[in-house]
Amino acid sequence: MKKNALISMIKIFSLMLLSILILSSFTTVFSVVSASELVEDSWNTKTAMRQARWGLGAVAVDGKIYTIGGQTDDHGYVGTNERYDPKKDAWFTLKSMPTPRSNFGIAAYQGKIYCIGGNTADVLNVNEVYDIAADSWSAKTSLPVSGSNVQAHVVDEKIFVIASRLLYMYDPITDSWTQKDSLPKTIVQSAPYVYSAVVDNQIIVITSDEAVEVLIYDPKTDVWREGKTTGYHGGGMAVAVATSGCFAPQRVYVLSGGSAIFFMPIGFVSAYDPLSGTWEQIKDDPIPRARFGVAVLDDVLYVIGGALLGTEGKREASSVNEQYVPIGYHGTGFSGSGSGSPVDNLVFVGAIVGTVVVVAVAVSLLLFFKNKGKRCIFNHVC
């Protein structure tokens, strides 16, 4: 009986040791997730692109960021295609865009990146698509008009393109274009620049004149309406992007790039609340630039490349990569108040469930061996 009792104790000890190891593994995973802290309303310098350029396109796809095209100091217009992995903080060079250009519209749909319009010495209507899996490019039906400073957005499996204040819808399946209701003429005449972002499947267009106006386009009805707005956000050349509301409050962020006439890059950033129509000034970009690319990944903004103010007031291409964490951010590793991200919550729940299961099994086995021992004594047989 002593021998059997010893064996039982060894088994229980082994089980408890296994419990500790399993619990430790959950704790380790949870610690790794929590260690990558992102502090709200902060700018963080990340690894720079391999090639400095401005007027580039930037878009996020499946946890990676792609920066394509642009203009450099020495090489003019380029088709450079780089991919940034935020987890590794590293860049990888991919196949270049066939038509080197800048200031084009860029949008991602079903594993492909569409680069539409843009300019070199001339304004273009080129429509080229990059297949991420195949690392290859192909030409598609051209945009009906030539356009620079083109903006492109995916809504309900279609790509909506604003070019020369005209609005077109592109169907990636049929490779065809349809003209939609253009921006109101008053906006076309009064605002030197417009920029746009998508919120709740509607396109929000913001003007850059002093009397800030917000227009909202509903793709389902093909109708424009005025949005609420109070305040002033900075004006000038800018880029607009939107957070989803998943990891940070839903806002349209406008990052101003300064004046096109007098090249004075600025880092002014403001956030527009579509529900209240109010503006909030955000901490300025520490590296003032113009003509940069912006991509949003898990509601974190990545401001990449652009043109700096170099010697003698000339443009100087930049490869800088700045990460901005929005106010109210509560994603992976956030150390402030608010609920954790789905990853945090999943790991935490897994740790609890795993611990409960292991402890329950250990207790059950302990009782089993204990009762078995009693039966052995009672029956004088083991």
User: What angle is formed at CA 305 by the lines to CA 303 and CA 308, rounded to 5 degrees?
Assistant: 110
The reported pLDDT for the residue numbered 27 is 44
Same-domain status, 32 and 160:
no
Same-domain status, 18 and 110:
no
Which residues contact residue 98 at a Cβ distance below 8 angstroms, ignoring those fewer than 6 apart? 79, 128, 137, 139
Measured distance CA(239)–CA(248) in Å, rounded: 19
Q: Is residue 230 part of a domain?
A: yes
Tell me the CA distances in angstroms from 189 to 144, 164, 231, 267, 308, one per residue in order: 22, 11, 21, 27, 30
Q: What is the domain range of residue 191?
A: 42-325
Q: Say if CB 302 and CB 46 are below 8 A apart.
A: yes
Same-domain status, 178 and 197:
yes
The reported pLDDT for the residue numbered 334 is 37
Same-domain status, 31 and 50:
no
Same-domain status, 12 and 137:
no
Same-domain status, 119 and 246:
yes
Q: At what angle do helices 342-379 and 2-35 cross, to 10 degrees?
A: 180
Measured distance CA(259)–CA(275) in Å, rounded: 29
Measured distance CA(296)–CA(61) in Å, rounded: 10
Tell me the CA distances in angstroms from 90 to 84, 93, 153, 180, one per residue in order: 6, 10, 27, 40
Same-domain status, 92 and 162:
yes
Same-domain status, 230 and 348:
no
Tell me the CA distances in angstroms from 53 to 68, 114, 158, 287, 357, one per residue in order: 10, 19, 29, 15, 55
Number of domains in the chain: 2
Token pair 């250009």 is found at 101
Measured distance CA(309)–CA(318) in Å, rounded: 10
Q: Is residue 333 part of a domain?
A: no
Name the phi and psi angles at 39, rounded to 5: -95, 130
The reported pLDDT for the residue numbered 76 is 93
Measured distance CA(33)–CA(26) in Å, rounded: 11
Tell me the CA distances in angstroms from 196 to 166, 238, 296, 349, one per residue in order: 13, 10, 14, 39
Question: In a 3-state reduction of DSSP, which class is residue 270?
Answer: strand
Same-domain status, 247 and 372:
no
Last residue of a domain, one of 280, 297, 325: 325
CATH number of 296's domain: 2.120.10.80
Q: Is residue 125 part of a domain?
A: yes
Same-domain status, 137 and 265:
yes
Pick out the chain residues at pLDDT < 70. 1-36, 186-192, 208-211, 232-236, 258-266, 312, 332-382
State which amino acid sits at residue 252: V
- Single out the residue of 213, 259, 264 nearest to residue 237, CA to CA: 259
Q: Is residue 330 part of a domain?
A: no
Q: Is residue 331 part of a domain?
A: no
Same-domain status, 305 and 350:
no
Q: Is residue 334 part of a domain?
A: no
Measured distance CA(235)–CA(170) in Å, rounded: 29
Q: Is residue 93 part of a domain?
A: yes
Same-domain status, 95 and 30:
no
Residue ranges in the chain assigned as alpha helix (H): 2-35, 185-190, 342-379
The reported pLDDT for the residue numbered 364 is 58
The reported pLDDT for the residue numbered 315 is 85
Burial pattern 183-204, b for ≥16 Cβ within 10 A else e, equals: beeebeeebeebbbbbbeebbb
State which amino acid sits at residue 130: Y
Which residues contact residue 17 at a Cβ distance below 8 angstroms, ignoring those fewer than 6 apart? none
Measured distance CA(196)–CA(198) in Å, rounded: 7
The reported pLDDT for the residue numbered 263 is 57
Measured distance CA(208)–CA(191) in Å, rounded: 6
For residue 298, how far is the Cα from the chain centroid?
5
Torsion sign across C-alpha atoms 169, 248, 334, 233: positive
Q: Is residue 332 part of a domain?
A: no
